[in-house]
Copies of this chain bind each other. A is one copy, B any other.
């Protein structure tokens, strides 16, 4: 495997565990199996490694956003996807979102890193908010626009529906980032939440 890629990968793992400032280039090098000075043949500084991780994550996010129409540009394009959705399908979609966020190897490490670094500069704040708040909310709002439009659910304000649907997912996700052992409990509560949500907005 490409050494440049492996450096990024091991660095992300370490940054996610300890935070950027508490990781030393020697540790990254050791994880890769080389000595610290060798890193500088691939990246010009420690910050450069961090930036590379950021760039890759932005690329992945954009690719995913495009695939899911999370930009809201082409909101009704996949109306069919939600058109005939049942309570069970809604549960599956919420749990799927949660599980993807929680278990995707790269995404999970990146989220923890960003959680720790989010206050360091405005770009990181923006990125966090886009990926874990505004992005999901606008996607959910789009979904509820379709579901209420098709009279599958009944609600006046799709933005309120979106936050009521998504905020518990978000909170349980960040809970499990701290306490992976509470995943079962979180999943149970999440399912109950979504079933209740569905009842709350029944037509």
A168 touches B178 (CB 8 A): no
Kindly state whether residue A46 has any CB partner on chain B within 8 Å. no
Main secondary structure of the interface of A (DSSP, over half): helix
With A17-B119, A119-B17, A167-B170 already in contact, the answer to whether A129 and B193 are too (CB < 8 A) is: no
A159 CB-CB contact with B under 8 Å: yes
Closest to A196 in B: B160
Contacting residues of chain A (154-178) with chain B, CB-CB under 8 angstroms: 155, 157, 159-160, 163-164, 166-168, 170-172, 175, 177-178
Is A116 an interface residue, CB under 8 A from the partner? yes
Contacts of A125 in B (CB 8 A): 178-179
Contact call A163/B189, Cβ cutoff below 8 A: yes
Cβ-defined contact, A120 with B18, below 8 A: yes
| With known contacts A170-B171, A179-B125, A164–B197 Cβ distance under 8 A | yes
Contact A119/B159 with A167-B168, A170-B171, A175-B133 known, Cβ cut-off 8 Å: no
Over the window 102-124 of chain A, the binary record of Cβ atoms lying under 8 Å from chain B Cβ atoms (1 yes, 0 no) is 00000000001001111110000
Contact of A157 among B17, B115, B179, B196 (CB under 8 A): B196
The quantity of this chain's copies bound in the complex is 2
Point out the residues of chain B lying under 8 angstroms from A116, CB to CB. 19, 115-119
Q: Are A192 and B19 in contact (CB under 8 A)?
A: no
The 4 closest A-B pairs by CB, nearest first: A21-B21, A167-B167, A200-B200, A167-B168
Cβ A120 vs Cβ B170 within 8 A: no
A116's nearest neighbour on chain B, judged by CB, is B116
